[in-house]
Amino acid sequence: MAYYYSTKLRISFDEALSKVAQSLKRQGFGIFTMIDVTDSLKQELNIDFRNYKILGVYNPQTAYKSITLESHMGLMLPCNILVQQLENGEVEVSAINSLETVDNGLDATNLPMIAAEVSDRLRAFLANLHLDINEPKDEEALAFIASDENVIAPIYG
């Protein structure tokens, strides 16, 4: 099994970020961190790189269930969503496959069930990106993505 799920979109990078925010919210995920790799590489190494953002997301209910069963599960939070511009102009959106990241040695707990729930939600999130739903935009999530204040600065250098 692959360690990630992925889908490709034929829309602009900014439009993809907007759809990502809306689809994540429909699956109960909140975005609370964003790493702008493009900007970081430019600032730290003076390298021009394609649009590439890593979003840290989590679902409060499943996060709570996980960390109450295994206190070190916080090491696996947040779930990462990768949004990257491909050379052919498409935008690829990828999500971690939580079923592959949970240790099978934890079978005595309910963690594999929680990982399956998160996995199902992330796959639904990706599938929803292809829907053309005329819903009001989630202005708060879009403002978060657009804000430079939410970009995590590199800790090296």
| Number of domains comprising the chain | 1
Domain with residue 97: its CATH number is 3.30.310.70
Nearest to 95 by CA among 132, 131, 129: 129
**Residue 103 in domain:** yes
**Residue 156 in domain:** no
Concatenating the DSSP letter of every residue in 117-155 gives HHHHHHHHHHHHTT--------HHHHHHHH-GGGBPPPS
Task: Please indicate, yes or no, whether the overall pTM of this predicted structure exceeds 0.85.
Answer: no
Nearest to 24 by CA among 55, 66, 63, 61: 55
Quote the domain boundaries for residue 95: 4-150
**Residue 157 in domain:** no
Q: pLDDT digit of tens for each residue in the chain (157 aa)? A: 688 899 999 999 999 999 999 999 999 999 989 999 999 999 999 999 999 999 999 899 989 998 898 888 888 888 899 999 999 999 999 998 887 776 655 554 678 888 889 899 999 999 999 886 545 555 555 555 555 555 444 433 3
Nearest to 30 by CA among 39, 44, 20, 15: 20
Name the β-bridge partners of 82: 54, 94
Name the β-bridge partners of 107: none
